[in-house]
Structure 1
Amino acid sequence: MNSPPDEIPGKKLTALSLAALGVVFGDIGTSPLYAMRECFHGQYAITASAGNILGVLSLIFWALLLIVSIKYLGFILRADNEGEGGVLALTALIKPKNIKPRTPQWALVGLGVFAACLMYGDGMITPAISVLSAVEGVKNITPLLEAYIIPTTIIILGGLFLLQKRGTARVGRLFGPIMLLWFCTLAGLGIAQIVNYPEVLAAVFPWHGISFLLENRLHGFIVLGAVFLAVTGAEAIYADMGHFGKRPIQLVWFLVAFPALVLNYFGQGALLLVRPEEAYHPFYALVPDWAMIPMVILATCATIIASQAVITGSFSLTRQAIQLGYLPRLRVTHTSSSHMGQIYVGPVNWALMLCTIGLVLGFQSSSKLAAAYGVAVSATMLITTTLFFVVASKRWSWSRLTAGLLTALFFAVDLPFFAANMSKLFHGAWFALAIGGFFFLIMLTWEQGREILGNKMRSLTPRLETFKKMLAANPPQRISGQAVFLTRGHDIVPAALMHNLKHNKILHSEVIFLNIRTEEIPRVPNFEKIEAEKLGAGLYRIIAHYGFMEEPNIDTIFALSRSKGVNLEMKEASFFLGREKLSISEHPEMWRWRSHLFLFLARNAMDAAAFFDIPSDQVIEVGVQLEL
């Protein structure tokens, strides 16, 4: 769906804001469960003295203000691609039409794609750490339940992933109200402590954070890796912009999420000033004994919602990558008739489930998981800042000085957090980087492999003008009917047609060359989707333009083509598709192991007929043998 307009009616704005609260802020909203704890009880914990507590609170407050409020909500959200956000949409803004390898643009696009791949690692760690940290609250009810923490977490996560295929549209209506209750509870718990110890409010002054870093030096710098946990989820705010628009997201952040988070963190700090021994779980220490059971239930619900948002984001990212040509075709199932963002991608779901449950079994505690969390997110933020500079200076025509000064400010915040998170590399942070690198390798291999095959196909078949001359010089027998050939380019004759003509010696009375292109924008309006051209001799060329958030459909293409003067009828048409039989040559253009990887991806890709929803009884496949 398109980004909502700036002027939104009151009722619609309220509904969008409530929905945004449930989807957009789930990840960052559950950070209070573990962020403060990791600063004073984690892998690199620092003593919970008054100076250190005020210093950490100051760093958290200014991180939320500078990274989320100013960087993302103030500037990054302006870099929308026709209303859509996210690092792939941002990358599409700077990608030239005909990009050449080993150029600065190619490097920037590669950075953007790598940042997108890192989101898969985030999609695995976020559900694991969020749900596990919530369930660990049962220890505060009774230590006897500690043995059930891991099994319960696995059951919850397993159930969450198993439900994805059924869709979350019905349950999703509860997300907003539950998260509103969650944020109100965060604020209430924080206020109850701040009222008793208001001196904690002095942490809003930045010199407490600066003093903390100067006094603790290397140790204080490393603690920044734990402080950063308070802002994980900021990238999701940008990625989900297309579903809700800028205004509802900004409204909900400044009126609900930001105040609630700050109040809760300051409440935890006020508690630690008096009871530093509670550093092992300061969040649950805020909760009165009588409210502990409902609090654990509410926290678990909130973390499930946060996990759902990350999982859905991974599905959306996969769909974008498929449409942009970075991944092979996979079946994308729509699980809701009213919300186009509700989709399901089976292979991604099962991969996320196995890795997420594996992380819980491998790390055993949310504190150990926190030691692995943050590198992928901080790297993505750095890349987003880099791409933002390019968009601001090239597309918005900002002066290099203005764009450079703003980017320098963002880098001044992003770089220390990234460097601090890199200290976690040998404590599990390598996992997210490895997952990102794995997906990056797959995307590069698929894109390069398709380019190699495209070049080989172009060398095997004539251009359209040459083909027309061949027909004029040696007319084949024509039979009545419409034959539709999918083509890689608008001026290339597909190999399927040449093989059919060579072996069957016939040609249909109407031959349609259909080229489906994915543009670097999220959606293409219907009146701009189709270019139709009559080439003479019964030949027609149709170019269908789709955005990277859309899924091409043959019925729609036929209907729009009729309005352009090409009378296509689904019942009359036969679809000729090339079935490529691939092998590896003696001297492959890619490394041999990458060629094998490409073959594996190609064999497991969804066939074109199913992907474009072409009736199987109207498809004729023609084999084409190609070597990599």
Structure 2
Amino acid sequence: MTDTAAASELPDSRPASHGETQGSLVKLTVGAIGVVFGDIGTSPLYAFRETFAGHHPLTLDEIHIYGVLSLVFWSMMLVVTVKYVMILMRADNKGEGGSLALLALISRSGGSGGRKRWTAGIVLLGVFACALFYGDSMITPAISVLGAVEGLTVIETSLEPLVVPIAIGILLGLFLIQKAGTARVGIFFGPIVAVYFTTIAVLGMLSILRDPTILWALNPYYALNFFFIDGWKAFLALGSVVLAVTGAEALYADMGHFGRRPIRAAWVYFVLPALMLNYLGQGVLLIGDPEAIQNPFYRLAPDWFRLPLVIIATSAAIIASQAVISGAFSVTQQAIQLGFIPRLSIQHTSAAAAGQIYIPVINWALMVMVILLVLFFQNSSNLAAAYGIAVTGAMLIDTCLLTVVLLTLWKWKPWLALPLLALFFIIDIAYFAANLTKVPDGGWFPLLIGLVAFTLLTTWARGRQLMLARMREASMPVEIFVKSAANSATRVPGTAVFMTTSPDGVPHSLLHNLKHNKVLHERVMLLTVRIEDEPYVPDTERAEITSLGSGFYRLVLRYGFMQDSDVPAALKRVGSCGPEFKMMDTSFFLARQTLLTGGSKPGMAIWREKLFSWMLRNAESAMEFFKLPPNRVVELGSQVEI
């Protein structure tokens, strides 16, 4: 456990552009406040209101208000502080966090036989958590921006018809600027969100000063008492209470950008106190003025400050949305590298920060779905019914993965691990079950998105495995080929690089080239790009080269799942295989497969084969993905039946 925990503290455990580099703890903490806590920070806009005025309303009396506040506080303590901040953030993969990084860490420890099958089941859980994230990344921008803009109706009720158009305008602008990158405005995120948290903390504190007895709500007695006197409604209330901790998984997922210590410091010393002060302040307000339930967040502010508060809250909501969108890009990049998503165009928006990427397909898909959500649900209350299922589902899966980590990787003693895991499972299952009651009111949406994404991810992964297996079956041993072809074929000057997914056998592109052109280059390189189950591979460990004789070489380039596969750049650093690589003397040969569906030995259902074939046709070409010079690439087609 100590080694795992210490990994992300090492300054050289990953590139300087990607993590807790040379910056001070204070600077990194401010940055973490801006990026990591935007989602959970905007929850006070709607979470407390929805618990009392949502689809399962509660009586606005002292018993219920105290009970809900106690549930909110202990949810933050147990789910966010203990589970994510204290425990899960220790399960880093070379400094990176998140479901896919954790999944790669677990997969690397998988054994054989029954344990291998058991690990495969865990992999499917992790993939489903990734799929649910896409549903969450669609709802978060919609509900955050809508919840913030709805403050205008508190200032002037006649402005209500403008809420949806203004929210759509803000969201459209947010997605349209993604191509330019967030590197320039990113430095302002931390201070803006810090101002937001300070503001809501001060407003909450001023309200608490009117009735300090509200602090008793932090006693877990009131949460338990809520269940004792009104068990069914308390259970239903969990579906809204969990809105207060949505975004908790972002703490873990963004660990690689800021490091464990800055995120912990920001949460414990700043974000958690600010959130609880605001929730307690809303509680005091509702005890004294039940009518304020229409929008207790904005009613905390005096009349003169409500418009500035709308501006501050909207800015925070935009930043929270930006963090989720950037997270979707990052998760997609990891999924592509790990083989769950076809190659997509990935553009870098910053020369200094490797994490600043833009994926057009994901950006436009998210934009369309977010706008449709706003138009369909119209307000944050309706969206709150759809919100929560994806988050609680991902949290439950994180607990399943944590079970593997504690018992298998860290080898905690059962008497210590099992009671803690039992507590986490009880909490997560209760939250997830409570959110299932919201399925008819909108909860079906994230489940539908998750199911579609899961189908796409698993279809691509399975189809790719089958295709590689079929190609491997038909491949010729490279030793036999070199002996027979080296002396019989005409050799021409230059270098030929044949890309192949398998480090064994002869690439189909090489066989086709020899069959049709009847020549071989003086130097023939069989190149395989391998993505490892770790975020970064140092340049010193990038290339592994083997001489096959007669001018033939086998080259394996290793990359981490957070790195770009820049083949020409890697080739320039390769030695011990003849003269230096020059792009004008090098030709790259690629094989483009055409899938034949419905063959004699189908490996998947016909509809999944057709889906995989469609994904294969629309994947970005290897030339663009591996950054090969277009005028030096030759593509040769082949047909594969799976």
**Distance in 1 between the 2:88 and 2:495 partners?**
49
Percent of counterpart pairs with the same letter? Answer: 49
Aligned length: 626
Is 2:89 the partner of 1:77?
yes
Kindly state the Cα deviation for residue 6 of structure 1 after the two structures are TM-superposed: 7.5
Q: Could you state the TM-score of these two structures normalised by the residue count of structure 1? A: 0.97
Q: Which residue of 2 aligns with 1:540?
A: 553
Q: Which amino acid aligns with 1:569?
A: K
Q: Which amino acid aligns with 1:260?
A: A
Is 2:624 the partner of 1:606?
no
Are the structure 2 counterparts of residues 435 and 286 from structure 1 closer, same or farther at C-alpha, using a change threshold of 3 Å? same
Q: Which residue of 2 aligns with 1:489?
A: 502
Task: Say if 1:522 and 1:550, in contact at 8 Å, map to a contact too.
Answer: yes
Q: Which residue of 1 aligns with 2:522?
A: 509
Kindly state the Cα deviation for residue 427 of structure 1 after the two structures are TM-superposed: 1.1
Task: Say if 2:547 and 2:577, in contact at 8 Å, map to a contact too.
Answer: no
Q: Which residue of 2 aligns with 1:285?
A: 299
Are the structure 2 counterparts of residues 10 and 460 from structure 1 closer, same or farther at C-alpha, using a change threshold of 3 Å? closer
Q: Which residue of 1 aligns with 2:540?
A: 527
**Distance in 1 between the 2:390 and 2:23 partners?**
38
Are the structure 2 counterparts of residues 246 and 384 from structure 1 closer, same or farther at C-alpha, using a change threshold of 3 Å? same
Kindly state the Cα deviation for residue 26 of structure 1 after the two structures are TM-superposed: 0.1
451, 456, 461: which one aligns with 2:465 = 451
Is 2:409 the partner of 1:358?
no
**Distance in 2 between the 1:288 and 1:201 partners?**
22
Q: What whole-Å deviation, never above 9, does each CA across 1:525-570 have from its counterpart, x for those lacking one?
A: 1111111111111111111111100011112221231278774332
Q: Which residue of 2 aligns with 1:500?
A: 513
Is 2:227 the partner of 1:180?
no
SS of aligned partner of 1:577: strand
Q: Which residue of 1 aligns with 2:450?
A: 436
Q: Which residue of 2 aligns with 1:190?
A: 204
25, 33, 38: which one aligns with 1:13 = 25
155, 175, 191: which one aligns with 1:161 = 175
Task: Say if 2:329 and 2:357, in contact at 8 Å, map to a contact too.
Answer: yes
**Distance in 2 between the 1:212 and 1:302 partners?**
32
Kindly state the Cα deviation for residue 450 of structure 1 after the two structures are TM-superposed: 1.2
Q: Which residue of 1 aligns with 2:492?
A: 479
RMSD: 1.8
**Distance in 2 between the 1:341 and 1:543 partners?**
25
**Distance in 1 between the 2:570 and 2:604 partners?**
35
Q: Which residue of 2 aligns with 1:95?
A: 107
478, 481, 484: which one aligns with 1:470 = 484
Q: Which stretch has the larger CA shift, 583-592 or 483-492?
A: 583-592
624, 629, 638: which one aligns with 1:615 = 629
SS of aligned partner of 2:635: strand
Q: Which residue of 1 aligns with 2:147?
A: 133
SS of aligned partner of 1:103: helix
Kindly state the Cα deviation for residue 392 of structure 1 after the two structures are TM-superposed: 2.0
Q: Which residue of 2 aligns with 1:39?
A: 51
Are the structure 2 counterparts of residues 132 and 581 from structure 1 closer, same or farther at C-alpha, using a change threshold of 3 Å? same
Q: Which residue of 2 aligns with 1:199?
A: 213
Are the structure 2 counterparts of residues 413 and 563 from structure 1 closer, same or farther at C-alpha, using a change threshold of 3 Å? farther
**Distance in 1 between the 2:178 and 2:349 partners?**
9
Task: Say if 1:30 and 1:306, in contact at 8 Å, map to a contact too.
Answer: yes
SS of aligned partner of 1:562: coil
Q: Which amino acid aligns with 1:79?
A: A
Q: Which residue of 2 aligns with 1:264?
A: 278
Task: Say if 1:13 and 1:248, in contact at 8 Å, map to a contact too.
Answer: yes
Is 2:264 the partner of 1:250?
yes
57, 64, 75: which one aligns with 1:63 = 75
Which structure 2 segments of 5+ residues have no match? Answer: 1-6, 13-19
Q: Which amino acid aligns with 1:184?
A: T
Kindly state the Cα deviation for residue 11 of structure 1 after the two structures are TM-superposed: 6.0
Q: Which amino acid aligns with 1:35?
A: A
Are the structure 2 counterparts of residues 11 and 577 from structure 1 closer, same or farther at C-alpha, using a change threshold of 3 Å? closer
**Distance in 1 between the 2:513 and 2:23 partners?**
59
66, 88, 97: which one aligns with 1:54 = 66
Is 2:434 the partner of 1:420?
yes
**Distance in 1 between the 2:8 and 2:149 partners?**
36
Q: Could you state the TM-score of these two structures normalised by the residue count of structure 2? A: 0.95
Is 2:582 the partner of 1:569?
yes
Task: Say if 1:99 and 1:106, in contact at 8 Å, map to a contact too.
Answer: no
Are the structure 2 counterparts of residues 523 and 99 from structure 1 closer, same or farther at C-alpha, using a change threshold of 3 Å? farther
Q: What whole-Å deviation, never above 9, does each CA across 1:58-111 have from its counterpart, x for those lacking one?
A: 000000111111110000000000000000001111114798899211110000
Is 2:95 the partner of 1:86?
no
Kindly state the Cα deviation for residue 579 of structure 1 after the two structures are TM-superposed: 1.8
Task: Say if 1:100 and 1:106, in contact at 8 Å, map to a contact too.
Answer: no
Q: Which stretch has the larger CA shift, 407-416 or 131-140?
A: 407-416
Q: Which stretch has the larger CA shift, 573-582 or 316-325?
A: 573-582
Task: Say if 1:558 and 1:568, in contact at 8 Å, map to a contact too.
Answer: yes
Q: Which residue of 2 aligns with 1:461?
A: 475
Which structure 1 segments of 5+ residues have no match? Answer: none
Kindly state the Cα deviation for residue 465 of structure 1 after the two structures are TM-superposed: 2.4
Q: Which amino acid aligns with 1:76?
A: L
**Distance in 2 between the 1:197 and 1:10 partners?**
45
Kindly state the Cα deviation for residue 405 of structure 1 after the two structures are TM-superposed: 2.6
**Distance in 2 between the 1:338 and 1:465 partners?**
44
Q: Which stretch has the larger CA shift, 242-251 or 333-342?
A: 333-342
Q: Which amino acid aligns with 2:43?
A: S
Q: Which amino acid aligns with 1:617?
A: N
**Distance in 1 between the 2:289 and 2:577 partners?**
74
Task: Say if 1:99 and 1:105, in contact at 8 Å, map to a contact too.
Answer: no
Q: Which amino acid aligns with 1:267?
A: G
SS of aligned partner of 1:456: helix
556, 566, 577: which one aligns with 2:569 = 556
SS of aligned partner of 2:334: helix
**Distance in 2 between the 1:151 and 1:305 partners?**
19
Q: Which amino acid aligns with 1:328?
A: P
Task: Say if 1:87 and 1:384, in contact at 8 Å, map to a contact too.
Answer: yes
Task: Say if 1:129 and 1:366, in contact at 8 Å, map to a contact too.
Answer: yes
Q: Which residue of 1 aligns with 2:228?
A: 214
Kindly state the Cα deviation for residue 409 of structure 1 after the two structures are TM-superposed: 2.0
Q: Which stretch has the larger CA shift, 322-331 or 461-470?
A: 461-470
Q: What whole-Å deviation, never above 9, does each CA across 1:360-408 have from its counterpart, x for those lacking one?
A: 1111110011011101100111111111111222222223443323211
Task: Say if 1:523 and 1:549, in contact at 8 Å, map to a contact too.
Answer: yes
Task: Say if 2:8 and 2:92, in contact at 8 Å, map to a contact too.
Answer: no
Are the structure 2 counterparts of residues 118 and 100 from structure 1 closer, same or farther at C-alpha, using a change threshold of 3 Å? farther
Q: Which amino acid aligns with 1:29?
A: G
Within a 5 Å distance, the mapping from 1:313-328 to structure 2 comes to 313-328=327-342
Task: Say if 1:128 and 1:356, in contact at 8 Å, map to a contact too.
Answer: yes
Q: Which amino acid aligns with 1:479?
A: V
Task: Say if 1:72 and 1:238, in contact at 8 Å, map to a contact too.
Answer: yes
